[in-house]
């Protein structure tokens, strides 16, 4: 995949391809489904806390039926053909694990949820261009963060908010983490937002900040909305106080600099930049390992990564019992299911994930599942990197940034395997396989020059 082959296939005068007009009825119906689906996967606890698990199940079933219909009427074969091999094999392995699963009924149910999330991701890839996805994702996260700020202000003034349908017995929660919103805003403690989870809020805030930044750069409309949204996202990310997302921001900033410096360079120069970048990344990683106590203290976390070392040790114990085939697919650790029930408890709060996507997939699907997930992550990164580096529009940086957010999250959370993490992974894996000729046309100005002119554009000069 050479730069020459890309530029030669996309004339500068080629018009931008728009799948359908935003004002059309078809677009409005598809966009409505996209907004509802993204809200459901980005803030699932908000639905479960407000209308119960049964209500959430009804929402998921309804959206799944709608997704299947919407996908079926718009050339699904082309999108299905773009599913990368490691993703197809991984889904097949999830299905086959029903045979040896230690909890077969749970595997069947969670496999259905995995297929549902995958279909929704394929629908997004099928229906929308990269620019339209930026618009839809940005609007969804803008709503979530605005709602989170409002509910946090209310909880800070009126007191903590308990779920309408709590997942505990009795009138009082056994721990503050069982509350929907703890009301910590004015105390500058960790906030949970409408998601009901500080880590999810931090993930959504960082993802939103990156989307709003690209929106600010590429939009020809007024800059005030993406500018205010960027300020809100950064504020919410700081208030959510996630060490993992702090590391993610550093990683993405580093990747952005490398990608921008590499654009338009001759191959030997690009490779020299990559070698220097890998060396710098290796030194930083080695420093973090050697001085991890100091790094964790700087990030405001305990030396055991807030109990994660204990969690990983116990998960590794399960892995060594069935390292080849795994225990069977589950995605979510369902309460009451052996061997997860009572396996891990931190400060009296039971944990229902491995807090590392790679350990979790290894435990569930064995060494083959681990290998397939690593293959998938590498393949998606390589494809997104090629697009980000070789296209002149800053628009194509956000898919790479979004991938790096879920990749960073996967080191300390298992949410890559479920809900928003899985939807984004499948979306990026499939959408990135579209031919370069279907992207917007290349411009004559490199991204780095466009970014240098950004302050003047914001000032309206």
The confidence band for 349, taking pLDDT boundaries of 50, 70 and 90, is: confident
Residue 291 corresponds to which tokens in the numbers above? 């001085």
3-state secondary structure (DSSP) of residue 324: coil
Please say if the pLDDT value at position 10 is more than 80: no
Q: How confident is the model at residue 448 (pLDDT cuts 50, 70, 90)?
A: low
Could you read off the pLDDT of 375-412 as tens digits, one per residue? 999 999 999 998 888 887 889 899 999 999 999 899 88
pTM above threshold 0.85: yes
- The pLDDT tens digits for 356-367 are 999 999 999 999
- Percent of residues, the chain, with pLDDT higher than 90: 54
Cα 54 from Cα 76, distance rounded (Å): 30
The alpha helices in 183-266, defined as continuous H runs, are 198-218, 224-240, 243-262
> CA 145, CA 195: separation in Å to the nearest integer?
9
pLDDT in tens, 86-134: 999 999 999 999 999 999 999 999 999 999 999 999 999 999 999 999 9
Q: CA-CA distance, 246 to 232, in Å (whole number)? A: 16
Contact 457, 226 (CB under 8 A): no
Q: How far apart are CA 439 and CA 128, in angstroms?
A: 12
pLDDT at 217: 86
Judge contact between 241 and 300, C-beta under 8 A.
yes
Structure tokens at 195: 């998601």
> Within the chain, what is the greatest distance between any pair of CA atoms?
67
Query: pLDDT band at 245, cuts 50/70/90?
Result: confident
DSSP assignment of 13-67 equals: TPPPP-SS-TTSHHHHHHHHHHHHHHHHHHSHHHHHHHHHHHHHHHHHHHHHHHH
Q: Please state the rounded mean pLDDT for residues 264-282.
A: 84
- Residues 6 or more apart from 272 whose CB is under 8 A from it? none
Q: CA 3, CA 6: separation in Å to the nearest integer?
A: 5
Which sign, positive or negative, has the C-alpha torsion 104, 370, 112, 410? positive
In this predicted model, which residue has the larger pLDDT, 194 or 10?
194
The tally of CA atoms less than 13 A away on the side-chain side of residue 219 is 18
């Amino acid at each position: 995949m050479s730069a020459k082959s890309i530029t030669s296939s996309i004339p500068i005068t080629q018009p931008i391809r728009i799948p359908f007009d935003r004002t059309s009825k078809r677009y409005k119906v598809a966009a409505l489904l996209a907004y509802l689906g993204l809200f459901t996967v980005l803030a699932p606890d908000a639905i479960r806390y407000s209308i119960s698990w049964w209500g959430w199940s009804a929402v998921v079933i309804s959206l799944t039926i709608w997704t299947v219909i919407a996908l079926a009427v718009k050339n699904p074969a082309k999108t299905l053909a773009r599913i990368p091999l490691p993703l197809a094999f991984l889904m097949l392995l999830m299905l086959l694990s029903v045979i040896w699963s230690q909890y077969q009924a749970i595997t069947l149910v969670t496999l259905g949820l995995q297929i549902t999330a995958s279909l929704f991701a394929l629908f997004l890839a099928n229906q929308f261009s990269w620019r339209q996805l930026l618009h839809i994702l940005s609007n969804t996260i803008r709503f979530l963060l605005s709602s989170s700020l409002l509910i946090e202000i209310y909880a800070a003034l009126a007191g903590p908010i308990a779920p309408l349908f709590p997942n505990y017995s009795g009138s009082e929660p056994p721990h503050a983490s069982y509350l929907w919103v703890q009301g910590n805003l004015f105390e500058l403690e960790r906030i949970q937002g409408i998601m009901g989870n500080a880590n999810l809020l931090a993930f959504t805030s960082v993802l939103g900040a990156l989307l709003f930044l690209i929106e600010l750069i590429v939009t020809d409309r007024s800059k005030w909305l993406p500018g205010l949204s960027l300020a809100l996202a950064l504020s919410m990310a700081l208030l959510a106080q996630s060490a993992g997302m702090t590391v993610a921001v550093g990683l993405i900033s580093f990747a952005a600099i490398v990608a921008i410096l590499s654009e338009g360079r001759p191959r030997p120069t690009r490779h020299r930049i990559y070698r220097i970048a890998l060396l710098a990344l290796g030194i930083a990683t080695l420093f973090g390992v050697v001085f991890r106590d100091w790094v964790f203290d700087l990030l405001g976390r305990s030396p055991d990564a807030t109990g994660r070392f204990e969690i990983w040790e116990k998960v590794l114990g399960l892995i060594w019992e069935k390292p080849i085939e795994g225990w069977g697919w589950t995605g979510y650790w369902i309460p009451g299911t052996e061997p997860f029930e009572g396996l891990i408890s931190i400060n009296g709060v039971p944990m229902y994930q491995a807090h590392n996507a790679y350990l979790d997939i290894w435990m569930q699907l064995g060494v083959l599942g681990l290998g397939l997930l690593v293959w998938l992550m590498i393949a998606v990164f390589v494809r997104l990197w090629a697009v980000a580096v070789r296209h002149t529009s800053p628009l194509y940086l956000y898919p790479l940034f979004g991938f790096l957010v879920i990749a960073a999250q996967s080191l300390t959370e298992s949410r890559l395997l479920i809900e928003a993490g899985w939807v984004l992974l499948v979306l990026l894996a499939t959408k990135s396989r579209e031919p370069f000729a279907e992207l917007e046309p290349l411009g004559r100005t490199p991204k780095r020059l466009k970014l240098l002119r950004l302050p003047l554009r914001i000032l309206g000069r």
